[in-house]
Chains A and B, each alone.
Chain A
Protein backbone atom coordinates (compact mmCIF):
# COMPACT_ATOMS: atom_id res chain seq x y z
CA UNK A 1 0.00 0.00 0.00
CA UNK A 2 1.93 3.04 -1.29
CA UNK A 3 -0.59 5.73 -0.27
CA UNK A 4 -0.06 8.89 -2.33
CA UNK A 5 2.80 8.91 -4.83
CA UNK A 6 4.15 11.84 -6.80
CA UNK A 7 6.52 12.07 -9.75
CA UNK A 8 9.00 13.54 -10.26
CA UNK A 9 10.62 14.31 -6.91
CA UNK A 10 12.73 17.14 -8.32
CA UNK A 11 12.52 19.19 -11.51
CA UNK A 12 14.32 22.19 -12.95
CA UNK A 13 12.65 24.11 -15.76
CA UNK A 14 13.49 27.16 -17.80
CA UNK A 15 11.00 29.99 -18.02
CA UNK A 16 8.36 29.20 -20.61
CA UNK A 17 8.78 25.43 -20.54
CA UNK A 18 5.85 23.19 -19.72
CA UNK A 19 5.58 20.14 -17.55
CA UNK A 20 3.09 17.86 -15.84
CA UNK A 21 3.30 16.72 -12.24
CA UNK A 22 1.79 13.31 -11.68
CA UNK A 23 -0.07 12.11 -8.59
CA UNK A 24 -1.66 8.76 -7.85
CA UNK A 25 -3.34 7.26 -4.79
CA UNK A 26 -4.21 3.66 -4.06
CA UNK A 27 -6.58 4.22 -1.13
CA UNK A 28 -9.78 4.40 -3.22
CA UNK A 29 -10.25 8.01 -2.16
CA UNK A 30 -12.76 10.19 -3.95
CA UNK A 31 -11.19 13.62 -3.40
CA UNK A 32 -7.76 14.79 -4.49
CA UNK A 33 -5.90 18.07 -4.08
CA UNK A 34 -2.88 20.00 -5.29
CA UNK A 35 -1.08 22.42 -2.97
CA UNK A 36 2.00 24.54 -3.23
CA UNK A 37 4.22 25.29 -0.24
CA UNK A 38 6.29 28.44 -0.03
CA UNK A 39 8.36 29.61 2.94
CA UNK A 40 6.30 31.51 5.51
CA UNK A 41 3.04 30.91 3.67
CA UNK A 42 2.02 27.41 4.66
CA UNK A 43 0.25 25.35 2.03
CA UNK A 44 -2.05 26.99 -0.46
CA UNK A 45 -4.61 25.07 -2.45
CA UNK A 46 -4.16 25.27 -6.22
CA UNK A 47 -6.93 22.97 -7.49
CA UNK A 48 -9.00 20.16 -6.11
CA UNK A 49 -11.19 17.38 -7.39
CA UNK A 50 -14.03 16.51 -5.05
CA UNK A 51 -14.85 13.39 -7.05
CA UNK A 52 -13.91 11.71 -10.31
CA UNK A 53 -14.96 13.89 -13.21
CA UNK A 54 -14.97 17.20 -11.32
CA UNK A 55 -12.28 19.81 -10.72
CA UNK A 56 -12.44 23.22 -9.04
CA UNK A 57 -10.13 26.13 -8.48
CA UNK A 58 -8.54 26.70 -5.13
CA UNK A 59 -6.82 29.75 -3.73
CA UNK A 60 -4.00 30.13 -6.31
CA UNK A 61 -5.04 28.53 -9.65
CA UNK A 62 -3.50 31.01 -12.10
CA UNK A 63 -0.88 29.45 -14.36
CA UNK A 64 -1.98 25.88 -13.66
CA UNK A 65 -4.34 23.32 -15.12
CA UNK A 66 -5.40 19.95 -13.76
CA UNK A 67 -6.80 16.69 -15.03
CA UNK A 68 -8.56 14.04 -12.99
CA UNK A 69 -7.61 11.18 -15.25
CA UNK A 70 -9.50 8.55 -13.25
CA UNK A 71 -10.27 7.90 -9.62
CA UNK A 72 -6.62 7.19 -8.82
CA UNK A 73 -4.79 9.89 -10.74
CA UNK A 74 -4.78 13.68 -10.59
CA UNK A 75 -2.20 15.60 -12.62
CA UNK A 76 -1.09 19.23 -12.44
CA UNK A 77 0.17 20.98 -15.57
CA UNK A 78 2.23 24.12 -15.92
CA UNK A 79 1.77 25.32 -19.50
CA UNK A 80 4.38 28.09 -19.45
CA UNK A 81 6.47 28.00 -16.30
CA UNK A 82 7.44 31.22 -14.54
CA UNK A 83 9.99 31.81 -11.75
CA UNK A 84 7.07 32.62 -9.42
CA UNK A 85 6.06 28.96 -9.71
CA UNK A 86 9.25 27.81 -8.02
CA UNK A 87 7.86 25.92 -5.05
CA UNK A 88 7.29 22.56 -3.46
CA UNK A 89 4.13 20.92 -4.74
CA UNK A 90 2.11 18.45 -2.70
CA UNK A 91 -0.68 16.20 -3.80
CA UNK A 92 -3.18 14.91 -1.24
CA UNK A 93 -6.27 12.75 -1.15
CA UNK A 94 -9.17 12.12 1.20
CA UNK A 95 -12.16 9.83 1.32
CA UNK A 96 -14.62 12.59 0.46
CA UNK A 97 -14.36 16.16 1.59
CA UNK A 98 -11.79 18.27 3.34
CA UNK A 99 -13.41 17.39 6.65
CA UNK A 100 -11.89 13.97 6.19
CA UNK A 101 -8.24 13.38 6.89
CA UNK A 102 -6.07 14.31 3.94
CA UNK A 103 -3.12 12.07 3.13
CA UNK A 104 -0.15 13.75 1.52
CA UNK A 105 2.42 12.64 -0.99
CA UNK A 106 6.16 13.30 -0.50
CA UNK A 107 6.19 16.40 -2.69
CA UNK A 108 7.84 17.64 -5.87
CA UNK A 109 10.46 20.35 -5.59
CA UNK A 110 10.24 22.53 -8.70
CA UNK A 111 12.70 25.24 -9.66
CA UNK A 112 11.99 27.58 -12.58
CA UNK A 113 15.01 29.51 -13.83
Chain B
Protein backbone atom coordinates (compact mmCIF):
# COMPACT_ATOMS: atom_id res chain seq x y z
CA UNK B 1 0.00 0.00 0.00
CA UNK B 2 1.11 3.52 -0.68
CA UNK B 3 1.96 6.06 2.02
CA UNK B 4 3.19 9.63 2.30
CA UNK B 5 5.32 11.33 4.93
CA UNK B 6 5.57 15.06 5.40
CA UNK B 7 8.35 15.51 7.95
CA UNK B 8 7.61 19.14 8.80
CA UNK B 9 4.44 19.82 10.76
CA UNK B 10 4.84 23.59 10.78
CA UNK B 11 7.08 26.01 8.89
CA UNK B 12 7.37 29.75 9.43
CA UNK B 13 8.80 31.84 6.61
CA UNK B 14 9.22 35.56 6.03
CA UNK B 15 7.35 37.21 3.20
CA UNK B 16 9.58 37.30 0.14
CA UNK B 17 11.74 34.40 1.30
CA UNK B 18 11.87 31.05 -0.42
CA UNK B 19 9.87 28.06 0.74
CA UNK B 20 10.48 24.33 0.46
CA UNK B 21 8.10 21.68 1.77
CA UNK B 22 9.28 18.11 1.97
CA UNK B 23 7.36 15.02 0.91
CA UNK B 24 8.49 11.41 0.89
CA UNK B 25 6.37 8.63 -0.52
CA UNK B 26 6.30 4.88 -0.43
CA UNK B 27 4.90 3.04 -3.42
CA UNK B 28 6.14 0.05 -5.40
CA UNK B 29 5.34 1.24 -8.89
CA UNK B 30 5.53 4.55 -10.71
CA UNK B 31 3.70 6.99 -8.46
CA UNK B 32 1.12 9.59 -9.29
CA UNK B 33 1.97 12.50 -7.01
CA UNK B 34 0.02 15.57 -6.05
CA UNK B 35 0.32 18.70 -3.94
CA UNK B 36 -2.86 20.28 -2.59
CA UNK B 37 -3.31 23.49 -0.61
CA UNK B 38 -5.99 24.20 1.97
CA UNK B 39 -6.68 27.74 3.08
CA UNK B 40 -8.34 28.14 6.49
CA UNK B 41 -11.94 26.94 6.46
CA UNK B 42 -11.76 25.88 2.84
CA UNK B 43 -11.61 22.71 0.83
CA UNK B 44 -8.47 21.50 -0.92
CA UNK B 45 -7.19 22.94 -4.18
CA UNK B 46 -4.73 21.22 -6.50
CA UNK B 47 -1.40 23.03 -6.85
CA UNK B 48 0.32 20.59 -9.21
CA UNK B 49 0.67 16.94 -10.11
CA UNK B 50 3.25 14.55 -11.52
CA UNK B 51 2.52 11.50 -13.62
CA UNK B 52 5.55 11.03 -15.85
CA UNK B 53 8.01 12.94 -18.01
CA UNK B 54 9.84 16.04 -16.85
CA UNK B 55 10.65 15.64 -13.17
CA UNK B 56 10.27 19.37 -12.50
CA UNK B 57 6.60 20.24 -12.48
CA UNK B 58 5.15 23.73 -12.58
CA UNK B 59 1.92 24.52 -10.81
CA UNK B 60 -0.37 27.37 -9.99
CA UNK B 61 0.45 30.36 -7.80
CA UNK B 62 4.16 30.17 -8.68
CA UNK B 63 4.78 26.76 -7.08
CA UNK B 64 6.93 24.00 -8.51
CA UNK B 65 7.86 20.51 -7.37
CA UNK B 66 10.65 18.13 -8.24
CA UNK B 67 10.25 14.37 -8.42
CA UNK B 68 13.33 12.43 -7.36
CA UNK B 69 12.84 8.70 -7.76
CA UNK B 70 16.15 7.83 -6.08
CA UNK B 71 15.08 9.66 -2.92
CA UNK B 72 11.35 8.82 -3.13
CA UNK B 73 10.69 12.52 -2.75
CA UNK B 74 8.42 15.13 -4.28
CA UNK B 75 9.34 18.42 -2.62
CA UNK B 76 7.36 21.59 -3.21
CA UNK B 77 9.10 24.95 -3.69
CA UNK B 78 8.30 28.58 -4.18
CA UNK B 79 11.04 31.18 -4.77
CA UNK B 80 9.30 34.10 -3.06
CA UNK B 81 6.45 33.64 -0.61
CA UNK B 82 3.47 36.00 -0.39
CA UNK B 83 1.33 36.50 2.72
CA UNK B 84 -1.53 34.76 0.89
CA UNK B 85 0.51 31.53 0.81
CA UNK B 86 -0.21 30.98 4.48
CA UNK B 87 -2.14 27.71 4.45
CA UNK B 88 -1.85 23.99 5.01
CA UNK B 89 -0.17 21.95 2.30
CA UNK B 90 -0.77 18.28 1.62
CA UNK B 91 1.25 15.88 -0.45
CA UNK B 92 -0.59 12.84 -1.82
CA UNK B 93 0.12 9.69 -3.82
CA UNK B 94 -2.53 8.16 -6.04
CA UNK B 95 -3.03 4.49 -6.83
CA UNK B 96 -5.90 2.00 -7.15
CA UNK B 97 -8.66 4.62 -7.21
CA UNK B 98 -7.38 6.08 -3.95
CA UNK B 99 -5.39 9.06 -2.82
CA UNK B 100 -3.25 8.68 0.28
CA UNK B 101 -2.44 11.98 1.94
CA UNK B 102 0.37 13.04 4.19
CA UNK B 103 -0.45 14.66 7.53
CA UNK B 104 0.13 18.12 6.10
CA UNK B 105 2.49 21.04 6.69
CA UNK B 106 1.16 24.32 8.02
CA UNK B 107 2.89 27.38 6.60
CA UNK B 108 2.89 30.65 8.50
CA UNK B 109 4.09 33.77 6.69
CA UNK B 110 5.47 36.62 8.80
CA UNK B 111 5.69 40.17 7.56
Residues of A at under 8 Å CB distance from B? 4, 31, 33, 40-45, 48, 50, 56, 58-59, 90, 92, 97-99, 101-107
| A94: min CB distance to chain B, Å | 9
| A70: min CB distance to chain B, Å | 19
Contacts of B49 in A (CB 8 A): 101
Q: Are A98 and B90 in contact (CB under 8 A)?
A: no
Within 8 A of A (CB), among B57-97: 90, 94-97
Contacts of B90 in A (CB 8 A): 42-43
Q: Are B32 and A98 in contact (CB under 8 A)?
A: yes
Proximity bits, B34-72, A CB within 8 Å = 1, else 0: 101000001111100101000000000000000000000
Size of interface on B: residues with Cβ below 8 Å to A: 24
Contacts A41-B103, A42-B90, A42-B104 given: A106-B42 contact, CB under 8 Å?
A: yes
Q: Are B44 and A90 in contact (CB under 8 A)?
A: yes
Contacts A98-B94, A104-B43, A104-B45 given: A45-B9 contact, CB under 8 Å?
A: no
Contacts of A48 in B (CB 8 A): 97-98
Closest A-chain residue to B9, C-beta based?
A40
Instruction: Give the distance in Å from the alpha carbon of A103 to the alpha carbon of B42 in the complex.
Output: 12
